[in-house]
Amino acid sequence: MFIGDVSKQFNIPADTLRYYDRIGLLSPRRQGGVRRYSEADLNKLAAIAKMKKLMFSLNEIQIILSADAQIDKSLQQASPDLSAAQALLSQIRAKLREVEALAENIKEVKRELARLAAKVKTVLEAGEYAE
Amino acid sequence: MFIGDVSKQFNIPADTLRYYDRIGLLSPRRQGGVRRYSEADLNKLAAIAKMKKLMFSLNEIQIILSADAQIDKSLQQASPDLSAAQALLSQIRAKLREVEALAENIKEVKRELARLAAKVKTVLEAGEYAE
DNA sequence: ATACCACATGGAGTTGACTCCAAGTCAAGG
DNA sequence: CCTTGACTTGGAGTCAACTCCATGTGGTAT
């Protein structure tokens, strides 16, 4: 797939895809100077998009993705690389705590917004009777 | 309160407080050129800090805070300003939808992270037996 | 041959939210 | 009187994540 097709399919500007290439987040092979996105590239991009929605920074995504890949690779060897796995696991746990804190915040904001909405509605109803 | 005290109490750099003043988010009165934070200012700052944690942009915070204040003011008048209330209400609803989408994402990320953690643990356990 | 694409590059510009700095003022302490 | 410390200002710098631009190349359509 060419960059334009990928851009359309994922609804991501081509410039952004080139940017991802530049920073080494997603670097497809070239054919005659032109980027060709493989099936694997598309899968990776899907993973990136998903994590982005989940508010990971591009940096975090990069770390997690490469650690994940490294683990997959080492799984096929006789002696898996435990340190990479350990590092990734603590990364994951940290993110999990972060996400849990966020979930708490979200509960709170929902209460706050509901409270605020109720107050606003009071004003609107008072306005109705006044007319 | 002086800027330094506020900075300490809220654990927010003085430069950030000055920045908030600059952009008109929180502009305390001056006494001889020096910022004096009133009780009301501190309450407002607390509200700002809270909303920040909830991932509102400073811009959103500003809009919501001023709409809220305007509503409070108009509540004390004979004819409340319904348009401000309407605007705020739709703002709130939009944010609520946003927050709900975020909550969904968070559920998903938790599943993802759990899945990833399980995979990593497999590697680690395999490593143990191999030793 | 010419026009028109989609692609390429390097580099500059943008936005939001700070963050840092140099230079200056002012009150209190030794 | 001089230093110290907390404050002031305007302006510049930083960071992430784009976003835009001028210029250039290579392939297809008329």
Reported as a single tens digit per residue, the pLDDT across B80-106 is 667 777 877 887 888 888 888 888 888
Distances (CA, A) of B76 to A123, B73, B89, B106, B112: 10, 6, 19, 41, 50
pLDDT at A77: 76
Q: CA A25 → C1' D16, Å?
A: 14
Residue with tokens 């759990």: B114
Distance of alpha carbon B113 from alpha carbon A97, whole angstroms:
11
Alpha-carbon distance B118 to B124, whole Å? 10
Q: Which CATH code for domain A1-53? A: 1.10.1660.10
pLDDT at B80: 64
Cross-chain CB nearest to B92 (options A93, A100, A120): A120
CB of A88 closer than 8 Å to CB of A75 = no
Highest mean pLDDT among A46-60, A64-78, B8-22, B54-68: B8-22
B71–A130 C-beta distance less than 8 A: no
* A93: confidence class by pLDDT, cuts 50, 70, 90: confident
CA–CA distance, A67 with A90 (Å, rounded to integer): 12
Task: Give the model confidence (pLDDT) of B40-78 as tens digits.
Answer: 999 999 999 988 987 889 999 998 888 888 888 877 776
Nearest-by-Cβ selection for A106 from B50, B88, B102: B102
Residue that wins the pLDDT comparison between B82 and B15: B15
pLDDT at res. B124: 78
* Percentage of chain A exceeding pLDDT 70: 94
Q: Which residues of B52-85 are buried (b: 16+ CB within 10 A; e: fewer)?
A: eebbbeeebbbebbebbebbeebeeeeebbbebb
Residue A96's closest CA among B122, B119, B114?
B114
- Closest nucleotide to B57, Cα to C1': C16
Residue indicated by tokens 């680690």: B124
pLDDT at A115 over 80: yes
Distance CA A103, CA A5 (A): 36
Q: For strand C, is any atom closer than 7 Å to the CB of B122?
A: no
What confidence tier does B22 reach under pLDDT thresholds 50, 70, 90? very high
B123·A75 Cβ contact <8 A: yes
Closest among A109, A110, A125 to B85, alpha carbons compared? A125
Q: Verify whether the Cβ–Cβ distance B50 to A121 is below 8 Å.
A: no
**Amino acid code (one letter) for B64:** I
Say if CB B44 and CB B65 are below 8 A apart.
yes
Write down the mean pLDDT value for chain A: 87
How is chain A split into domains, by residue range? 1-53, 58-131
CA of B12 to C1' of C30 (A): 33
CB B88 to CB A126 under 8 A?
Answer: no
State which H helix or E strand residue B65 sits in: helix B58-75
Q: Between helices A58-75 and B82-130, what is the axis angle to 10°?
A: 20
pLDDT at A120 over 90: no
**Structure confidence at residue B57 (pLDDT):** 93
pLDDT at A1: 95
pLDDT tens string A3-61 = 999 999 999 999 999 999 999 999 999 999 999 999 999 999 999 998 898 778 999 99
